[in-house]
Chain A
Amino acid sequence: MFDWKWEFVWEILPRLVQATGNTLIAAGAGYGIALVLGLVLAIAQRTPYRLLTFVVRELVEFIRSTPLLLQIFFVFYVGPQFGLRLSPWMSGMIAIGLHYSCYLSEVYRGGLDSVPRGQWEAATALNMTVVQKYRRIIIPQAIVPAVPGFGNYLVGIFKDTPMLSVIGVAELIHTANAIGSEHYRFLEPYTLVGLIFLAISLPAAGMIKVFENFVRRRMGMK
């Protein structure tokens, strides 16, 4: 049978809980960056400036077509050659935020496209500026159909944080590895990490559904 040691579990649990906090911070900060930057990238692709639209679209395609791991390495190891000297934490959050902003920009794009043309026209008839139209009329309506997509990528970014372990960010996998090599025992740390991921990812999906309904009701769209 398994050689499962409960006393070892209790011994390492505090460290793993702390690492869970780090993981959540990395995922949350990366997601925050992605939410803001994703919107900027989506709107940039809708401007009448052809060159800007082209460059942004190609950039999004480029980032979506290359592995996140490579991007993390690039920011952390190649960045210093260009004078960009960042801590593992900063590098990791920027890389993961940038990567996911490209996916979120597509979610935003779908949401923005779903707002009927009549809404833009009504806003023009009220003499709103472009910024007012986006801020007051278009974005609030674009968010509603985008919530499920946002939710998927929230879980996605959370599950991708282990990649940050390769540049030394003390998230869950990194900590589990460290514990494993210190004690020559990997069963308990890895099992716990898996359970922690499960315990956070599973309810998240349900909470996103609840949040979606809340947003819909709030917007009078139900």
Chain B
Amino acid sequence: MEDMSGYPLELTGENIPMVSFKKVRKSYGSLTVLDDLDLDVNAGEMVSIIGPSGSGKTTVLRMLMTLETINSGVIYVDGKPLTHMPGKGGKLVPASARHLHERRADIGMCFQHFNLFPHMTALENCMEGPVQVLGLSKAEARDRSEELLELVGMIGKKDQHPSRLSGGQQQRVAIARALAMRPKVMLFDEVTSALDPEVIGEVTNVIRKLVSEHNLTMLMVTHQMGFARDISDRVCFFYDGKIEEQGPPADLFGKPQRERTQQFLSAVREAI
């Protein structure tokens, strides 16, 4: 049993990060995917995660969305523990399903393969969470969803099922669906990787708009270095389950310090 005495029940002080990974470890059997990860994301910050495949980038987001459990450490969201909850004796214990349900409400996620609900129209996809989970009336949920579909430029297709939409259109609906839950933290997991090159722009433009117009905290895993460079406040380069290097995009892309970062970035540039 892990000793939890080093982890506070709640983060205190000034400038509490919106997301905080404390010594988080994730392994599958003998394979360690993430090794003692420490990562803070401040409120309103846009952090991009880059790195070679298999470096644990996506796992970071999936743990935060509670799609994966963690082996040790604690994840805090908005100062409160997500993966754990206060137990007897003032120590943290692993979170119950109910605790996860409560804390997960702060987080929204968009996936590489969109994962829209195929049996619902674009509008119904967006309304589903607000009506079923948040308990909004249909009228309220419709207003909110239509507003967001407008924001992502999909209002004209609101009554179409996903099978009638292109990849870029589906991803924009998926962004609206996640936003309809009013999360504090948005996670973008390789949201352009499954798209045809010519429609990538319509999705990145939506994310750009979110960054400039909304005060959301965002974590994005991406292979699009130019995009990450443009819109991120900070870029983290993951290698072998660790953050090898991080910093403002101008620094990380302009003058990377670590050899592995340099190798990765030059390999990516050659590919273009």
Contacts and interface: CB of A to CB of B under 8 A. Distances in A.
Interface of A: 116, 118-119, 121-122, 124-129, 132, 136-137, 140-141, 144, 219-222
Contacts of B163: 220-222
Interface string B98-141: 00010011011101010111111100000011001100000000
A132 B116 contact: no
9 contacts: A121-B65, A121-B111, A121-B115, A122-B116, A124-B65, A124-B104, A126-B181, A140-B119, A141-B119
Contact of B164 (A125, A129, A220): A220
Contact of A127 (B101, B113, B121): B101
A127 B129 contact: yes
Contacts of B181: 126-127
A199 B118 CA distance: 37
A122 B111 contact: yes
A125 B109 contact: yes
Interface of B: 65-67, 101, 104-105, 107-109, 111, 113, 115-121, 128-129, 132-133, 161-164, 174, 177-178, 181
A141 B118 contact: yes
A118 B115 contact: yes
Contact of B66 (A122, A124, A219): A124
A129 B128 contact: no
Contacts of A220: 118-121, 161-164
Contact of B133 (A119, A126, A144, A222): A126
A125 B119 contact: no
Contacts of A127: 101, 104-105, 129, 133, 181
A140 B124 CA distance: 14
A219 B116 CA distance: 13
A125 B108 contact: yes
B121 A129 contact: no
A128 B65 CA distance: 13
Nearest to A222: B163
A58 B232 CA distance: 55
Contacts of A144: 119
Nearest to B129: A126
A126 B115 contact: no
A126 B128 contact: yes
A219 B129 contact: no
A4 B119 CA distance: 55
B78 to A, nearest CB: 15
Nearest to B131: A136
A185 to B, nearest CB: 54
Contacts of A129: 101
Given A129-B101, A140-B119, 9 more contacts: A118-B111, A119-B117, A121-B65, A124-B67, A125-B107, A127-B133, A136-B128, A144-B119, A221-B119
A121 B109 CA distance: 9
Contact of A137 (B117, B162, B177): B117
Contact of B177 (A119, A126, A132, A141): A126
Contacts of B128: 126, 136
B105 A221 contact: no
Given A124-B66, A124-B67, A219 B118 contact: yes
Tell me which of A121, A126, A128 has the highest count of chain B C-beta atoms within 10 A of its own C-beta. A126
A47 B74 CA distance: 27
B118 A221 contact: yes
A128 B132 contact: yes
Tell me which of B108, B121, B132, B161 has the highest count of chain A C-beta atoms within 10 A of its own C-beta. B132
Given A125-B178, A140-B119, A132 B133 contact: yes
Contacts of B108: 125
A127 B180 CA distance: 12
A122 B161 contact: no
Contacts of A140: 119
